Amino acid sequence: MTKAEHGAALEITDEQIDQICEEFGNREGSVVQVLQIIQEKYGYVPAEVLERVGDDLGIPHSKMFGVLTFYSQFYQEPRGKFILKVCVGTACHVRGAELLVDKIKENLHIEAGENTEDMMFTLEPVACLGSCALAPMAMVNGNSFGKLSPDRMLEMIHQFQEEEASENKESVSAS
Amino acid sequence: MVKVTINGKEVEVEPGKTILHAAEKAGFPIPTFCYNPRMDPAGACRICAVELEDSKRTVMGCITAVSDGMKVLTESAKVHDARKTNLELLLLHHPLDCPVCDCGGECPLQNMSFAYGAADSRFESHRNDEPEDMKSDVLVFNSNRCILCGKCVRICDEIQDVHAIGFINRGFDTIIGPPLGKKLDCEFCGDCLEICPTGAITDKFVRYQFRPWQMEKIETTCSSCGSGCRMLVDTESEAIVRISSQEGLGPNEGSICVVGRFGFNHVQNHSRLDKPLIKKEHRLVPGTWSEVLPRIADRLKSIVSGGSGRVAGLVSSRTPLEDAFLFQRFIRQTLRSNYIDSGARRGMMNIAKPLALATGTLRPLVDNEDIIGAEVIVVIGADPAVESNITGLAIKKAVRKNRSRLYLVHGQDVSVSTRAKEVIKLLPNSEAAFLELLRKVLAAGGSLDTASKDLLVKIGASVEGVENLLSDLSSSRKVVFVTGRRFHHSDAGYEASEALIALLKERGLWEQEGSGIFPLPELGNDMGVLMMGASYEWLPGLLDSGNPDNRKVWGTHWGTTLDSPGGGLKEILAGIEEGKIRALITLGENPFEYIPDSEFLRKTLGKLELLVVIDQHQTEIADVAHFLLPSASSFERPGHLVSAEGFVQPTAPSMAYWGESLPDAEILLRLVRQMGASLPFENFSSISQEIFKIFPDLRPSTRNGSHFQGKTGEIILALPTPSTPHKALRETVVSKIRGWEAGVSPGQAPKAEGQEPSGNEFMFQFSKSINHSGTFTTHDSNLMTIEGSGLLRVPRQWARKMKVKKGNCVLVRSAHGTISLPVDPVAGLSDREVHFPIHFADERTLALFGKDIVWNHRSGVPSGQTLSVTLEPVV
Ligand code: SF4
Ligand code: SF4
Ligand code: SF4
Ligand code: FES
Ligand code: FES
């Protein structure tokens, strides 16, 4: 099956899934770990993949879906290349987190939880990221950015866009 | 035993039991939502709160075990408070749309709120208002009304073992439903619908069409398979609104399958015959009873006056004891003929006859409870959940709860396969060779020699699987063999049955309590119809009709002399061909469903001077019938059915006769009177009385008793205590089996081993679908919504390779013809087999089998269920 990861087409075959499951001895108890690996690799857990993992581990699809939807870390849909996790916890909230969120919505034309059409960005407001001293803060693909302002946020977005553009150019010229 | 005091009353209960159990025993039932006696307690709803008198603590009654000296209050102020608060919390988001909820009026949540007066809440809340999940054609999920007790998920997991639904999301957002936003794809047993204590799951077929308090509930027995489920028919103004069940009711303990729960519309469908029809100038035209009966009677009289053996009768194996008994007596006594046969021949004669010869009875030595308790269960040539759903549930429970070792010998994975220790794939028609091999190897010490291994490979069986089976068979004492359709229909089905009986004898299993053979009948009364003598070889009570002494016994009792030898379907068709048999009466039986050569059949039946068809629907046979008489259905007339477990259970009328239809027995009795003959039966109940008088062991019985009342308030079901024996007596069987030996085939014995299809051939086979029973249910709008056409089940591997998808057509080619059929690729099918649901077999499909009918010499069962074909995708 062909799946879009970060905007790019990615192939994930049944055999690859079987292999991941086998690494965990096809144990029922390893379901969360298996899903984590799949999510890490593909950015989300496609329906067919979920079913295959269920078949491999001997877990009914209904229970697999229960696990998938129970943990907020798992996604059923592909997500953008840059996940903008904007903290809307208490400290960040009083320091203007909403303004950051609004800025993103306005500029990228997406709502919370949505991807941009080019699959570059996903906006994901989250609760306290544990660095309240740096409020308001955000995390993008694992990197923290503190003491943000709406303008700084916009700058960062432009920066990511440029990075991506030059990367694409390189790969075009290389080919 | 532990002593507990409930509200001041002392009771003794076994240690380990819960407070709920003790309170029930003391006569103080505790309210529950999430508890169910058949499932593990979940402790999810907290409505069962009780107070411990000493510590003043409230605990949950359904999960707290009793301890000695425990003092419990079930109705204290504190308990009421706790329950009330609980209800408030449950109702926090509940939409309170009872007036438009199908569940209103029979809703435990509503009743409990009424009882505890908790309708208004101290908490601020918003009402849930999510859209319903309407994707399924059968069940609607309304998450707003759900209290998350989890019963639906648990019954689907723990009892049905289908795992179709689950919890989705977390916390406040949790809902119940099928995975991945898909349409519900399951067995549609409706158990979740039945068990839900709110209106969160509703029945799409009857939504908004009823108010529970306006319906009358009538308890009856399902006649669609051998499970003999007890169920409740909910009617309004003598029309069926829906079918429901009740926790613990009947041998099925409250579970019923898709056919039982949703398949009732065929009896109130406009395709039903509502008037007698007479053939006039090649056309069937409506007539009246007073017009048709005298004409039929006259013709019968004149035919019978010419001599004995000129009339034949065929009867369906759904027919109750009474009608079957009357039918055979009518044919034998009034019409002086022993040409009589029934659908039970196809259904189970291949195993019934050898079993009767060996054990003297058709009743099994084991029932579903023995299956649950068995150490080893061998399912051979059967698909239990499909053919006899409740036995399927028993097998699943045995493996889950009791760790029974399950062996499955079949050509495909069936619904219990995932629970099997070994799935041994066998070529069709190889059961006889397989069982004979097992017996020989067990007799010789239990290990396989090279020749045996070669044979196993030849018939497609895995040697390793068989080795495991052999070792389990030689070391276990409680072994149950479950046989079904594929076994009973196999070419050497009779010989396979003998091999099985001999195998049990070899292992001394006949003597072992809890061991035995459990055949799955095809319809609701296969065994009963045979016991009543509705087959030429047996007079009532399984007495050999070829024996003059037996004929004398019944002849004297009936005040007549009985004719011999007569014959079954094979002889009947030959007799008609020769012109010897001039008249045929069919009761719910249609040979066009299984005789492949319909042209031959039409020609043969066309020679009859008189063909009277008594049925509910017009079928192919109508073309050649002279009279078509409308028959009342099992929902309209009383009767008793013998289940696979041997229970003798009544059906109760719940709706008015459809149009002018009449019960079979009534039609026959009127005919007898019209002929100026007499049989000593005034009415239906005089037939029941006669049967129960001459067969004292055939007494109404069921599991768990019965407590529902009939329409007029009388108890229709005088069902005695659950201890009434339904199984055969082991001592009697054991003493008979000692003298038994397998017989010898009079003609050429059919091949005991199947042949591997060559080259690119597949074995085409008819099988039963879980959603249908016979061809009856193809007239049922509900079941046709669930499964509306026959799809050829093909191996998924093959479909992938050939790039055919579900619904695509393939050309199926046999030596006799080619037809195009849509396919359904399925996993778990042996890669050389394709299956077609028998319910949808029409002339075209049957024609693949050509003109030859192969009859098993010893049982008279027509084979022709298996055939070599090639498949070619239509591009
Ligand atoms: S209808 Fe039966 S099989 Fe389907 S979800 Fe409900 S309990 Fe499960
Ligand atoms: S749907 Fe019904 S049975 Fe299932 S959890 Fe909700 S309330 Fe309980
Ligand atoms: S068809 Fe069989 S299993 Fe289904 S409800 Fe009827 S008797 Fe029960
Ligand atoms: S509230 Fe934003 S990091 Fe804690
Ligand atoms: S019945 Fe006891 S917690 Fe639900």
Could you please report the per-residue DSSP string of B445-465?
A: TS---HHHHHHHHHTT--HHH
pLDDT 10s digits, A109-149 = 999 888 999 889 999 898 888 889 998 999 998 889 999 99
Domain identity same for B605 and B627: yes
> CB under 8 Å to B292, separation ≥6 — which residues?
B276, B278, B627, B629
Domain identity same for A104 and A165: yes
What pLDDT does B125 receive?
A: 64
Out of A129, A139, A145, A148, give the residue to mutate to test ligand 4, the one with the largest number of ligand atoms within 8 Å of its CB. Answer: A129
* Res. B506: pLDDT tops 90: yes
Structure tokens that stand for B445 in this block: 């010490």
Beta-strand relationship, B809-814 and B792-795: unpaired
- Of the residues B660, B676, B694, the one at which a domain ends: B694
What pLDDT does B110 receive?
A: 87
Domain identity same for A54 and A93: no
| Structural domain contains residue B460 | yes
Domain identity same for B257 and B286: no
* Res. A2: pLDDT tops 80: no
A60 with B169: Cβ contact below 8 A: no
pLDDT 10s digits, B721-766 = 555 578 888 999 999 999 998 887 666 777 878 888 888 899 999 9
What is the distance between the alpha carbons of residues B33 and B47, in angstroms, rounded to a whole number? 7
* Res. B422: pLDDT tops 70: yes
* Res. B121: pLDDT tops 80: no
Domain identity same for A144 and A89: yes
* Res. B385: pLDDT tops 70: yes
The b-or-e profile of A81-94 (16+ CB within 10 A means b, else e) is: bbbbbbbbbebbee
What is the distance between the alpha carbons of residues B391 and B252, in angstroms, rounded to a whole number? 9
| Structural domain contains residue A106 | yes
- Of the residues B268, B301, B319, the one at which a domain ends: B268
Give chain B positions within 8 Å (CB) of A60: 157, 163-164, 166
Domain identity same for A55 and A91: no
Q: Whose CA is nearest to atom 6 of ligand 2?
A: B146
> CB under 8 Å to A83, separation ≥6 — which residues?
A121, A122, A124, A140, A141
Instruction: Give me the CATH number covering residue A33.
Output: 1.10.10
What pLDDT does B747 receive?
A: 66
Residue A128's φ and ψ, nearest 5 degrees, are -20, 120
Give chain B positions within 8 Å (CB) of A72: 170
Structural domain containing residue A38: 2-70
Query: Could you give the dihedral angle defined by the CA atoms of residues B18, B20, B25 and B28, in that order, rounded to the nearest 10 degrees?
Result: 150
Mean pLDDT calculated for residue range B17-36: 93
Residue B20's SS3 state is helix
Domain identity same for B557 and B667: yes
Name the residue facing B163 among A50, A62, A70 (closest C-beta): A62
Amino acid letter, B277? L
CA distances from A133 to A90, A102, A129, B796 (A): 12, 22, 11, 59
Strands (E), A61-147: 82-87, 121-126, 138-140, 143-145
List the helix and strand counts (H, then E) for chain A.
7, 6
What is the distance between the alpha carbons of residues B671 and B668, in angstroms, rounded to a whole number? 5
A31 touches chain B (CB under 8 A): no
Give chain B positions within 8 Å (CB) of A63: 163, 166
Domain identity same for B250 and B292: no
Instruction: Give me the CATH number covering residue A154.
Output: 3.40.30.10
B169 with A64: Cβ contact below 8 A: no
* Res. A1: pLDDT tops 70: no
What is the distance between the alpha carbons of residues A17 and A15, in angstroms, rounded to a whole number? 5
* Res. B596: pLDDT tops 50: yes
Domain identity same for B389 and B470: yes
Domain identity same for B669 and B770: no
Cβ of residue B500 lying under 6 Å from some atom of ligand 3? no
What is the position in ligand 5's atom list of the atom closest to the CA of B43? 3
Mean pLDDT calculated for residue range B460-486: 95
Mean pLDDT calculated for residue range B443-464: 93
Cβ of residue B257 lying under 6 Å from some atom of ligand 3? yes
Domain identity same for A50 and A86: no
Name the residue facing B168 among A60, A69, A71 (closest C-beta): A69
| Structural domain contains residue A75 | no
Among chain B residues, the shortest Cα distance to A76 is held by B180
Domain identity same for A16 and A63: yes
Among chain A residues, the shortest Cα distance to B168 is held by A66
Mean pLDDT calculated for residue range B259-286: 94
Beta-strand relationship, B230-236 and B216-221: antiparallel
* Res. B601: pLDDT tops 80: yes
Structure tokens that stand for B473 in this block: 């068979």
Structural domain containing residue B643: 277-343+525-694
| Structural domain contains residue B724 | no
More confident residue, B688 or A8: B688
B180 with A63: Cβ contact below 8 A: no
What is the distance between the alpha carbons of residues B850 and B816, in angstroms, rounded to a whole number? 5
> Judged by CB atoms within 8 Å, which residues 70-129 of A form the interface with B?
70-72, 76
Q: How far does residue B214's CA lie from ligand 3's centre (Å)?
A: 26
Q: Which ligand sits closest to the CA of B203?
A: 1
Domain identity same for A92 and A154: yes
What is the distance between the alpha carbons of residues B833 and B829, in angstroms, rounded to a whole number? 7
| Structural domain contains residue A22 | yes
What pLDDT does A173 receive?
A: 52
The band of A6, judged by pLDDT with boundaries at 50, 70 and 90, is very low
* Res. B124: pLDDT tops 70: no
Nearest-Cα distance to chain B for A72, in Å, is 9
Cβ of residue A138 lying under 6 Å from some atom of ligand 4? no
Name the strand (E) or helix (H) holding B629. strand B627-630
Give chain A positions within 8 Å (CB) of B157: 60
Cβ–Cβ contacts within 10 Å for residue A38, how many?
23
What is the distance between the alpha carbons of residues B827 and B418, in angstroms, rounded to a whole number? 12
Q: How far does residue B143's CA lie from ligand 5's centre (Å)?
A: 20
Out of B186, B245, B255, give the residue to mutate to test ligand 1, the one with the largest number of ligand atoms within 8 Å of its CB. Answer: B186
> Judged by CB atoms within 8 Å, which residues 140-169 of A form the interface with B?
none
What is the position in ligand 4's atom list of the atom closest to the CA of A129? 3
What is the distance between the alpha carbons of residues B621 and B618, in angstroms, rounded to a whole number? 8
Q: What DSSP character marks residue B66?
A: P
List the helix and strand counts (H, then E) for chain B.
28, 34
Give chain B positions within 8 Å (CB) of A64: 179
Domain identity same for A90 and A166: yes
Q: How far does residue B106's CA lie from ligand 5's centre (Å)?
A: 19
Out of B253, B388, B393, B703, give the residue to mutate to test ligand 3, the one with the largest number of ligand atoms within 8 Å of its CB. Answer: B388
- Of the residues A22, A39, A70, the one at which a domain ends: A70
What pLDDT does B123 receive?
A: 60
Mean pLDDT calculated for residue range B826-838: 89
Give chain A positions within 8 Å (CB) of B167: 66, 70
Indicate the average pLDDT of chain B: 91
Domain identity same for B499 and B393: yes
Q: Count Cα atoms within 13 angstroms, Cβ side, for B71.
A: 7
A63 with B166: Cβ contact below 8 A: yes
Instruction: Give me the CATH number covering residue B221.
Output: 3.30.70.20
| Structural domain contains residue A77 | no
Number of domains comprising chain B = 5
- Of the residues B650, B671, B694, the one at which a domain ends: B694
Domain identity same for A100 and A154: yes
Domain identity same for B194 and B208: yes
Domain identity same for A88 and A147: yes
* Res. B578: pLDDT tops 80: yes
* Res. A29: pLDDT tops 60: yes
A60 with B166: Cβ contact below 8 A: yes
What is the position in ligand 3's atom list of the atom closest to the CA of B773? 1
Domain identity same for B260 and B163: yes
Domain identity same for A141 and A165: yes
What is the position in ligand 5's atom list of the atom closest to the CA of B62? 2
B170 with A70: Cβ contact below 8 A: yes
B180 with A47: Cβ contact below 8 A: yes
More confident residue, B206 or A42: B206
What pLDDT does B333 receive?
A: 96
| Structural domain contains residue A89 | yes
Model ipTM value: 0.82
pLDDT above 90 covers a percentage of chain B that reads 75
Domain identity same for B312 and B354: no
| Structural domain contains residue B109 | no
Q: How far does residue A69's CA lie from ligand 4's centre (Å)?
A: 25
| Structural domain contains residue B790 | yes
DSSP B260-328: HHHTTGGGGSTTB--S-EEEETTEEEE--HHHHHHHHHHHHHHHHHT-SS-EEEEE-TTS-HHHHHHHH
A64 touches chain B (CB under 8 A): yes
* Res. B176: pLDDT tops 70: yes
Q: Which ligand sits closest to the CA of A127?
A: 4
* Res. B796: pLDDT tops 70: yes
What pLDDT does B118 receive?
A: 58
Structure tokens that stand for B230 in this block: 């007890």
Domain identity same for B214 and B285: no
Which of B180, B192, B415 to mutate to test binding with chain A, by most A CBs within 10 Å of its CB?
B180
| Structural domain contains residue B105 | no
Number of domains comprising chain A = 2
Domain identity same for B512 and B530: no
- Of the candidates B415, B461, B419, B411, the residue with the CA atom closest to the CA atom of residue B438: B461
CA triple B697-B700-B702, angle to 5 deg: 110
Mean pLDDT calculated for residue range B492-504: 95
* Res. B710: pLDDT tops 70: no
Structure tokens that stand for A45 in this block: 């857990």
Beta-strand relationship, B833-837 and B761-767: parallel
Q: How far does residue B170's CA lie from ligand 1's centre (Å)?
A: 22
* Res. B254: pLDDT tops 80: yes
Give chain B positions within 8 Å (CB) of A71: 170
Which of A69, A72, A75, A77 to mutate to test binding with chain B, by most B CBs within 10 Å of its CB?
A69
Among chain A residues, the shortest Cα distance to B179 is held by A62
Give chain A positions within 8 Å (CB) of B169: 69-70
Q: Pick the range with the lowest mean pLDDT from B86-100, B211-225, B390-404.
A: B86-100
| Structural domain contains residue B142 | yes
Domain identity same for A100 and A141: yes
| Structural domain contains residue A50 | yes
What pLDDT does A128 receive?
A: 87
